[in-house]
Amino acid sequence: MKTSPAEIQLLEAKVAKFRQEHGLELGSPVDLEPLLKQLQVRTVFKPLDSSFSGMAMKYANKSYMLVNSDHSRGKQNFTIAHELYHLFIQHNFVPHASQAGRFGSQTDPEERNADWFAALLLMPASYIYVVASEAGEMEPRIQLTLPTVVKLEQDFQCSRQALLVRLENLRLITAAQKEEWAQSPAASARQFDYPTDLYRSTPQREAIGDYVALASRLFDKERLSETHYAGLLADFGVDIHSLGTETPD
């Protein structure tokens, strides 16, 4: 189901309020790791089933997040922003395994909201317009090029796929460009002399927060699929029966 323009405008207002409340400059890229520390979100990066991007939970007035380190760093960053919606914006949030970045194919409206919150937070339109204008790609008609797309994803530290969804929604690229430019993002970054760390998994990405002992136990266990997240809750010292449960999409 597609998110309506009115729904996106409402989410834009929520993003603006979130930025204001947490000292994030409007229209600028967000550095997520310092933000997670500021918000005291205890975050673990762990190899997981490919369809499981992450999850978040609140327990005893503390916030926790798990992110799939087998995904590219750009995808992980989108997942983090997606989970921030669940932790700080969504009312009556129930922990569940997420598949961030599906946008219109999400069956749960709150998952669609979380995807668009992430896109709006990580990829502010004003910054996109400034970069495109400086490249001379807004006048006399919109003509975004691949080098500008690569620069934007490097500045935003986001996934290529999420950026292309955002640009298409802003009507800055066509569906054909979206399909073409989704191919081989790392190769195009190398072509334009950008580093390729953004497109790689991060098996050694360090946990964030004050629970290193708990995090190390997670990394010692076998791979976790979306159907086994109850075990993750136990690793955080939480009895799943004390929480509501929700079936992932």
Which tens digits make up the pLDDT trace of 67-98? Answer: 999 999 999 999 999 999 999 999 988 877 78
Average pLDDT over the chain, rounded to an integer: 85
pLDDT confidence of 245, banded at 50, 70, 90? very low
Taking the C-alpha atoms of 127, 133, 138 and 140 in order, what is their torsion angle to the nearest 10 degrees? 160
Strand arrangement of the beta sheet that strand 54-59 belongs to: 41-46, 62-68, 54-59
Residue whose C-alpha is closest to residue 224's, from 103, 45, 84: 45
**pTM of the full structure:** 0.85
Which tens digits make up the pLDDT trace of 131-182? Answer: 999 999 999 999 999 999 999 999 999 999 999 999 999 999 999 999 999 9
Roughly how many angstroms between the first and final C-alpha of the chain, as a whole number? 13
CA 170 to chain CA centroid, Å, is 19
Domain parsing of the chain, residue ranges: 5-123+201-234, 125-199
d(CA 70, CA 120): 24
219 has a pLDDT exceeding 80? no
Residue 178 token pair = 């979206």
